[in-house]
Amino acid sequence: MNENNIVELKEHTLDESICTSENLVYTKPQTLTDDPMHYCPGCGHGTAHKILMEVVDELGLQNETIGVAPVGCSVFAYHYLNVDMQEAAHGRACAVATGIKRMMPDKYVFTYQGDGDLAAIGTAETIHAANRGENFLVVFINNGIYGMTSGQMAPTTLPGMVSTTSPYGRDVKPWATLLKLPICSPCSRASPT
């Protein structure tokens, strides 16, 4: 940037007198911290954080909300969400949220999980919590890849989608034959004579 550009910028500075509450289009929710986000470009975490915390802020639930985030990119939610947070082991966010909600039924509890945590290792906990009708919110960030480990294929990677472990696109055809294998083959029991 040269000297002329700096002079032009100084001449076109924002008139602070127009920054009044009735002129504001957006205000950052108090439930988001001031830490700069570090997520990868195009990732949905920043948007999800903003929307989730806008709701918490608008409803005045900051002191009544507890979030549960496991490993992966979701774990960084602690840096950005200004509510009580609990860390969970990989895939166990719904199990931890179940315990929190049962011990503190008056709290608003949510989990914040990515593909690897919810759709891979945590599938059982998620399905069983839903089956039992547990009363908490599950926020699922589905990027279709494992973002924290260099973009590897995930259970949610779409057929044909390129990842670091599927450079020619995800091919689901070889796995279709596994579904045709007999799960239980007939067997006979020998009786002693």
Does CATH number 3.40.50.300 belong to domain 44-170?
no
Which residue did the predictor score with more confidence, 191 or 115?
A: 115
Within 10 Å of residue 30's Cβ, how many Cβ atoms?
Answer: 11
- pLDDT for res 175: 62
The residue length of the chain stands at: 193
Q: What DSSP element (H or E) covers 93?
A: helix 93-103
**How is the chain split into domains, by residue range?**
44-170
- 137-141 and 84-87 as β-strands: parallel, antiparallel, unpaired? unpaired
- pLDDT for res 176: 58
173 pLDDT band (50/70/90 cuts)? confident
| Three-state SS at 69 | strand
- pLDDT for res 142: 87
CA distance 42 to 26: 21
CA distance 6 to 137: 49
- pLDDT for res 143: 84
- pLDDT for res 39: 85
Average pLDDT for 131-143: 94
